[in-house]
Amino acid sequence: MMSPTSKSTFMVFVLLFASMVKAEEKMPSCATDGEVAAIMKFLTLQSSDEITTQRGVSDCSRESAVGPALGGIAFMSKFDPLPSLKRSIDQNIIGPSPTRFFLSRAKTIQFVGEYEGECRQDVNGGYVAGYVSPPNPTVYVCRKSSELDAFDMASVFLHEARHVEGYGHATCLRGIFRGLKGCDERYGDKGSYAVETEYYLRLSLHPNISPALKASTRFMGIAELWGRFNKYPIDIRGRLILQEKSSAIYILDNNKVTVNSSQGDAVLVKMNDTHAFIDQQNKTVKSFFAGQWSDTLGVLAQDLREGKLDVGADKIIDMFYGDAYSCVLTNRKLICKANTSGAYASTEIRNMNPVGFIYVSSTKLVQSKTPYVVGQDGYLYRMPLDYETLKSQGESSFTKTKQKYPYKKIVTVPAVPGEFVLTIEGQVLHTPGGSKNLKPVKELEGKIFRSIAPVDLWSEELNDFL
Ligand SMILES: [Zn+2]
C-alpha cells in the first residue's frame, strides 16, 4: 500500500447535515455483478481494510465501504450523459460523461481502514470520506463512507478525480467549515467543489431521476454553492419560515414577508438545519427543499411512516435530531431513539406541560448543545446528554432551569446574523448583532405564531439557471 503524506493529500469532508437531507435513498445502492465486472475492467480495486477485504467486492452491507463505492460508480454511469445547465453557472468541467471524467483520472480504488491515513482525521461536523495523493491516480476510500448514498459517493469520486490533477483547497472563511481547509476560493476556479456542485445540479435535471432524488441533488448543489466557496457565486440566502396560530405559513426573507400556502394542522418543526411539517393524520413528515416538497428525512420520520414509531392517539408537538439520541415530543410523552443502537425509550411526562424542544448547536441565549423540553410554565427542562440516563431515569433526569426564559423556540438562519426566538406567547424576537438583547421583528409584530424554523437555503437566481 502507498503511504500518502498528509502534506500532499486532499480529502473530501462530508457534511453531517447532508446525510440528514436524504429523501428516499437510504438503502445501500449496490452495483450488480455485471456492473462490478464492468467497473473492474477499468479500475483496480485494492484494500488495506480488514472488513472490506473479508467482505469482498460483492458486499452490499453498510459494514464495508465497497457497496456504496461500487454502487456510486454504477450510479455515475447510469445517469450518463448528464444534461447541461443554463448560462454561466455551467462551467462544463465534467463534460458530457461523468464516468469518462472519473476514469480518465482515477485508475485504482483503495479501501482503507477507519484509522488509516487521512481517514482518522477528526473533522468538526463531518468526516473524511476519501482522499488522494496526487499525481498518484489512486482514490483512497475511507470506511466511514459506507454511510453514504450512491449519488454522494459518485460526487466524492468526481471531487477526488479533480484533486488527482493537482487542484487543492482553500481555508473556509465562514460557515460550518470555517477555519478548515474544506473550501475553494471561487466557483470559477473550477476546483473539486465546483465539480461536485456541477454534478449535483446537472444530475437534478436528468430526465430519469426520481422526484425525491431530484430534490436531494438540487438541495446538495445549493448547499455546495453556499458552503464551499469563499465568494458566493450567486445570490443565496437563508430564510425563516413561520407558522401562524391560524396555521398560515409566513416566510421572512431579508425584511420581506410573504404568505405561503397553509399546511393545515401539520406541525412545523426544525430538523437539523432545515424545517419539516409533520402531518398528524397521515404520520408523514415533509420538507421543502430547494423549491420542491419532498418526503422526509431522517430516522424518526421514516420510523413514523413505517409504524416503527407509534405515538398512538397523542398529538405530536415537536421533534429533534441530536448527537446521542433523537426524540419526538407529544402532549404527554417523550419518545427517544438512541442514535447508535436504534433502541427506543418512551417517557411519560407528568410534572410539566410540554410545548416544544429547544435544541440549537450554538446559541448565546441558553447553554448550547443541550436539548431542552420547554414547559408552558416558562421554564426550560434540560435533558441529559446521554441516552442511558434518559432511558433509566425518565422525566426525573430533567433539570429545571432556575429562572424563566421567554423562549419556545430558538433558531438561527444561514446568512442572517443573530438568533430568532419564538416566545411562549407567540411573538417573534431577534437578537441583532450577536447580543442577548431581544427585539421584536418589526415585520411580524402584532401576529401570534405557533412555530418557527429556518428554511432551506434559497436562491431565486438559481431558479433561472435550472
Ligand atoms: Zn477535496
In the reported structure, the alpha carbon of residue 161 is separated from the centroid of ligand 1 by a whole-number distance in angstroms of 9
The candidate with the shortest Cα–Cα distance to 164, out of 137, 143, 126, is: 137
**CA distance linking residue 85 with residue 227, whole number of Å:** 20
CA 95 to chain centre: 28
In the reported structure, the alpha carbon of residue 424 is separated from the centroid of ligand 1 by a whole-number distance in angstroms of 44
Give the pTM: 0.69
The band of 15, judged by pLDDT with boundaries at 50, 70 and 90, is very low
The candidate with the shortest Cα–Cα distance to 136, out of 169, 164, 100, 116, is: 164
Q: Is the pLDDT of residue 286 over 80?
A: no
The candidate with the shortest Cα–Cα distance to 102, out of 165, 157, 156, 151, is: 157
Which residues neighbour 57 within 8 Å (Cβ) at sequence distance 6 or greater? 36, 40, 45, 66, 70
In the reported structure, the alpha carbon of residue 440 is separated from the centroid of ligand 1 by a whole-number distance in angstroms of 42
Cis-peptide, bond into residue 417, ω within 30° of zero: no
In the reported structure, the alpha carbon of residue 132 is separated from the centroid of ligand 1 by a whole-number distance in angstroms of 9
In the reported structure, the alpha carbon of residue 9 is separated from the centroid of ligand 1 by a whole-number distance in angstroms of 9
Which residue did the predictor score with more confidence, 354 or 361? 354
Name the burial class of residue 107, with classes exposed (0-12), middle (13-18) and buried (19+) by CB atoms within 10 angstroms of its CB: middle
How many percent of the chain have pLDDT more than 70?
85
In the reported structure, the alpha carbon of residue 191 is separated from the centroid of ligand 1 by a whole-number distance in angstroms of 9
User: Phi and psi for 53 in degrees, rounded to 5?
Assistant: -60, -45
The band of 43, judged by pLDDT with boundaries at 50, 70 and 90, is very high
In the reported structure, the alpha carbon of residue 381 is separated from the centroid of ligand 1 by a whole-number distance in angstroms of 42
The band of 213, judged by pLDDT with boundaries at 50, 70 and 90, is confident
Q: Supply the pLDDT for residue 450.
A: 93
Q: Is the pLDDT of residue 8 over 60?
A: no
User: CA gyration radius for the chain?
Assistant: 23
Neighbours of ion ligand 1 (CB under 5 A): 10, 12, 192
Q: Supply the pLDDT for residue 44.
A: 94
In the reported structure, the alpha carbon of residue 192 is separated from the centroid of ligand 1 by a whole-number distance in angstroms of 6
The bridge status of strand 325-330 relative to strand 333-338 is: antiparallel
How many C-beta neighbours within 10 Å does residue 447 have? 17
Mean pLDDT of the chain: 83
Per residue in 234-275, pLDDT (tens digit) is 887 778 889 999 888 898 887 788 887 777 888 888 776 667
The candidate with the shortest Cα–Cα distance to 255, out of 464, 428, 449, is: 428
Query: What CA–CA distances, in Å, run from 174 to 100, 179, 196, 235?
Result: 34, 8, 19, 16
Q: Which three cell numbers stand for residue 233?
A: 457565486
In the reported structure, the alpha carbon of residue 109 is separated from the centroid of ligand 1 by a whole-number distance in angstroms of 16
Q: Supply the pLDDT for residue 9.
A: 54
Q: Is the pLDDT of residue 449 over 50?
A: yes
In the reported structure, the alpha carbon of residue 190 is separated from the centroid of ligand 1 by a whole-number distance in angstroms of 12
Sign of torsion, CA 278 279 280 282? negative
The band of 448, judged by pLDDT with boundaries at 50, 70 and 90, is very high
Sign of torsion, CA 173 177 179 183? negative
Kindly write down the DSSP assignment for every residue of 39-72, as one continuous string: HHHH-EEEE--HHHHHH-TT--SSSSSHHHHHHH
In the reported structure, the alpha carbon of residue 244 is separated from the centroid of ligand 1 by a whole-number distance in angstroms of 43
Where does the chain hold its CATH 2.115.10 domain(s)? 240-465
In the reported structure, the alpha carbon of residue 136 is separated from the centroid of ligand 1 by a whole-number distance in angstroms of 15
In the reported structure, the alpha carbon of residue 67 is separated from the centroid of ligand 1 by a whole-number distance in angstroms of 22
How many percent of the chain have pLDDT more than 90?
43
Q: Which three cell numbers stand for residue 447?
A: 401576529
In the reported structure, the alpha carbon of residue 194 is separated from the centroid of ligand 1 by a whole-number distance in angstroms of 11
**CA distance linking residue 422 with residue 116, whole number of Å:** 46
In the reported structure, the alpha carbon of residue 11 is separated from the centroid of ligand 1 by a whole-number distance in angstroms of 4
CATH of domain 240-465: 2.115.10
Q: Supply the pLDDT for residue 428.
A: 95
Q: Supply the pLDDT for residue 23.
A: 34
Q: Is the pLDDT of residue 142 over 60?
A: yes
- Quick check: 366 and 407 in contact, CB under 8 A? yes
In the reported structure, the alpha carbon of residue 153 is separated from the centroid of ligand 1 by a whole-number distance in angstroms of 13
In the reported structure, the alpha carbon of residue 181 is separated from the centroid of ligand 1 by a whole-number distance in angstroms of 8
Q: Is the pLDDT of residue 354 over 70?
A: yes
Which residue did the predictor score with more confidence, 91 or 462? 91
Q: Supply the pLDDT for residue 18.
A: 41
Q: Is the pLDDT of residue 55 over 90?
A: no
Mean pLDDT of 368-376: 87
